[in-house]
Amino acid sequence: MMNQIAALGRIGIETVASFGRASQFLAGVVFGVPRPSVGFPLLIRQLYAVGVLSLAIVVVSGLFIGMVLGLQGYTILSDFGSEAAIGQMIALTLVRELAPVVTALLFAGRAGSALTAEIGLMKATEQLSSMEMMGVDPLRRVIAPRLWAGFLAMPVLAMIFSVVGVLGGMLVGVEWLGVFEGSYWGNMQASVDFVDDVVNGIIKSVVFGFVCAWIAVYQGYDCVPTSAGISSATTKTVVYSSLAVLGLDFVLTAVMFGNF
C-alpha cells in the first residue's frame, strides 16, 4: 500500500521536475540567442531543414484536403441548393482550423522527430559535451537556431497550406463540379474576416510552431543517451506534440471564437 503511494508520489515529482527542466531549458534557449553574425547562418540552415524540406508534404496535404473539403461540402450543400456557399465553407475551415492543426501535426512528424533524433544522437555521441569542453554553449549553438527555425517556419507553412487548400477546393468546386467562380470567391470574401479569421489562424500556428519545436528539442536534449533512449524520445516527441497541438487548439478556439 505504502509502496503504491510512494510510486504515485515519485511519478508526480518526476512530472513536475521534468516541466521545471523544460522551462529552465526554454529560458536558456530563448534568451541565449547567439550573435547575429554567428547565429544567422545557423538559423538559415535550420530554416532550410525544418521549413523548406517540409514544404512538399504540406503542399500535397493541403491540396488534397482542399479537394476533399470541396467534394464533401458540395455533396452536403447541394442538398440545400446552396452549393455557392462552398467557398466560404472551405476557406473558413482551412484558415481557422485545419491549416494550423494539420500543418502542426505534419510538422511534428516530419521535422520534430528529425530534430529530436539529431540532437539525441549528438548527445549520445557526446558531441554536446565536447562542445561544452571547447567553451561553446550547445544551447546557443545547437538548440536555439532549431527552436527559432521551428517557430518561424510553422506560420509560413500554415499559410501556404491554407492557400493551396483554397486553390484545391476551387479546382474541385469550380472546375470540376461547376460552381460559379464569382460566387466561390464572393461568398468567401464576404464571410472571411482578415483579423478575426486569418490573423487568429496565424496566431494559432505560431503557438503550435513554438510548442512543437520546444517539445522536439527538449526531448532530444533530455533523452537517455542510448539507441533505445533516442527511439523513445522520438516517439515521445510525436505523441506529445500531437496531443499538445490538439489540446491547445481547443483552448485557443474557445478563446478566439467562443464568445457567444
Partner 1 sequence: MAQRTTEIVVGLFMVAGLAALMFLALQVSGLSPKSAGATYTLYANFNDTGGLAPRGKVSMAGVTVGTIESITLDKETFQARVAMSINKNMDNIPADSAAVIRTSGILGEQYIDISIGGDMESLKAGDAFYTTQSAMNLERMISNFASGR
Which residue, 113 or 187, is less far from partner 1 as judged by CB?
Answer: 187
**Site map (CB under 8 A) of partner 1, residues 167-206, x = contact:** ------------------x--xxxxxxx-xxx---x----
Residue tagged 525544418 (cell numbers): 50
Residue 80 is classified by DSSP as G
Q: What mask, x for binding partner 1 by CB under 8 A, covers residues 6 to 45?
A: -----------------------------------x--xx
Please report whether residue 82 would count as binding partner 1 according to CB under 8 A.
Answer: yes
- CA nearest to 156, candidates 192, 208, 191: 208
Residue 78 makes contact with partner 1 by CB under 8 A: no
| Nearest-angstrom CA–CA distance, 162 and 12 | 40
- How many whole angstroms separate alpha carbon 172 and alpha carbon 174? 6
Q: Which of 123, 161, 157 is nearest to 142 (CA)?
A: 123
| Stated length of the chain | 260
Residue from 29, 65, 69, 95 touching partner 1 (CB under 8 A): that is: 95
The single residue listed with the C-alpha cell 530534430 is: 115
Exactly one of 6, 17, 27, 52 binds partner 1 (CB under 8 A); that residue is: 52
Q: Does 63 bind partner 1 (CB under 8 A)?
A: no
Exactly one of 156, 174, 211, 245 binds partner 1 (CB under 8 A); that residue is: 156
Minimum distance between the CB of residue 170 and partner 1, rounded to whole angstroms? Answer: 10
Give the span between the Cα atoms of 8 and 87, in whole angstroms: 52
Interaction between residue 114 and partner 1 (CB under 8 A):
no
Which of 90, 101, 107 lies closest to 151 in space, CA to CA?
107
First and final CA of the chain: distance in angstroms? 49
Name the site residues for partner 1 (rule: CB under 8 A).
41, 44-45, 47-48, 51-52, 55, 80, 82, 91, 95, 153, 155-157, 159-160, 162-163, 166, 185, 188-194, 196-198, 202
